Amino acid sequence: MYAKKDAVLLKQAFWTAFGQYMQPVLSADGDHINWINYKTGEKDIYFRMHADNKRATIGIELTHKDPSMQALFFEQFTALKTLLHNALAEEWQWMLHTHDENGKTISTIGTTLNDVSVFN
């Protein structure tokens, strides 16, 4: 078990190391990009990464306030499902109208790796 201050420092070190590891990886346009805080350029569409002492997650999050608009965006992503799965060489989970930790209705396309820790 880590003290709160030590845990914060270890998490910070993890994300710094991840950023350095991903730095040479260019975007599809050949530009340098901040993969941790990837800006999609589209309102209410985010790439999210999270890692803690139990699991790591990565995915696309649709957060439009209007559920019908959120469903429309989700449907548009669904049309690209096979392309995404082929590019990733794995299947991701698709969840329409789920809830985030704050109770907000969101839709997600992502994957979770369980039993991993930023502390290891």
Q: Write out the two tokens for 53.
A: 């002492």
Task: Look at 119 and 95; give whichever has higher pLDDT.
Answer: 95
b/e code 24-59 from CB counts within 10 Å (16+ = b): eeeeeeeeebeeeeeeeeeeeebeeeebeeeebbeb
Average pLDDT of the residues of the chain: 90
CA angle 15/109/63 to nearest 5° reads 85
Instruction: Please tell me the predicted confidence (pLDDT) of residue 18.
Output: 86
Domain positions in the chain are 1-33, 39-120
Instruction: Please tell me the predicted confidence (pLDDT) of residue 102.
Output: 93
Max alpha carbon distance in the chain (Å)? 46
Mean pLDDT along residues 110-114: 96
pLDDT digits (tens, 9 = 90+) for 35-78: 776 778 889 999 988 888 899 999 999 999 999 999 999 999 99
Task: Return d(Cα 101, Cα 105) in angstroms, integer.
Answer: 10
